[in-house]
């Protein structure tokens, strides 16, 4: 990535389980439901992006099962800073070290920005769970019916990428 003076400087690092737990509870209200399974904070590993002031500006979590991994959450707390891309690159590097050959990610039909982000990075939509959010709401009744940009929150998309 070419140098951009407006992009936040910082570093990737492994967080403690307490950081994953507190951020998951604050942002995701476990369980985290994907097309594959439900996750609690203790089920995942992760990586954070810390800025120059040592503040966490992003978190990615994942679960590895043999040669497969699932990205469970990806949050960049500031947009347009390439934090999400750095977190995903860091996670994919970890996956390679662990012998992971395929990674999947779940997002929802309203999250068009995330879908475009993943597709640009080589992920392909491999499954659409129509009305999958009904299953999520059965576990988490507080999930809204309408979400980003006033789009009805209905379906779950699973994207997948082979890790070379």
76 lies in a domain?
yes
130 lies in a domain?
yes
Q: Compute how many other C-beta atoms are within 10 angstroms of the C-beta atom of residue 107.
A: 23
Structural domain boundaries, residue 19: 10-162
Question: What is the structure's pLDDT at 3?
Answer: 43
pTM for this entry: 0.90
Blockwise average pLDDT, block size 10, the chain, 164 residues:
56 90 92 96 95 89 98 88 92 97 98 96 98 96 93 98 95
4 lies in a domain?
no
Question: What is the structure's pLDDT at 66?
Answer: 96
Residues contacting residue 130 through CB under 8 Å, at least 6 positions apart: 154, 155
CA pair distance 29, 141, nearest whole angstrom: 11
123 lies in a domain?
yes
Task: Give the closest residue to 47 by CA, choosing from 68, 64, 66, 32.
Answer: 64
Total structural domains in the chain?
A: 1
141 lies in a domain?
yes
């Amino acid at each position: 990535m070419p140098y951009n003076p407006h992009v936040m400087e910082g570093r990737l690092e492994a967080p403690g389980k307490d950081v994953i737990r507190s951020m998951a509870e604050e942002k995701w209200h476990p369980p985290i439901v994907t097309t594959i399974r439900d996750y609690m904070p203790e089920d995942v590993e992760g990586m954070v992006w810390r800025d120059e002031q040592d503040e966490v500006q992003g978190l990615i979590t994942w679960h590895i099962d043999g040669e497969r991994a699932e990205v469970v959450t990806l949050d960049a707390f500031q947009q347009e800073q390439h934090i999400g891309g750095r977190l995903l690159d860091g996670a994919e590097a970890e996956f390679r070290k662990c012998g992971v050959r395929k990674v999947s990610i779940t997002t929802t039909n309203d999250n068009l920005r995330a879908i475009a982000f993943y597709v640009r990075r080589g992920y392909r939509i491999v499954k659409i769970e129509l009305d999958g959010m009904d299953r999520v709401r059965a576990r988490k009744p507080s999930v809204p019916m309408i979400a980003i940009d006033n789009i009805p929150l209905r379906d779950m998309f699973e994207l997948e990428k082979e890790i070379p």
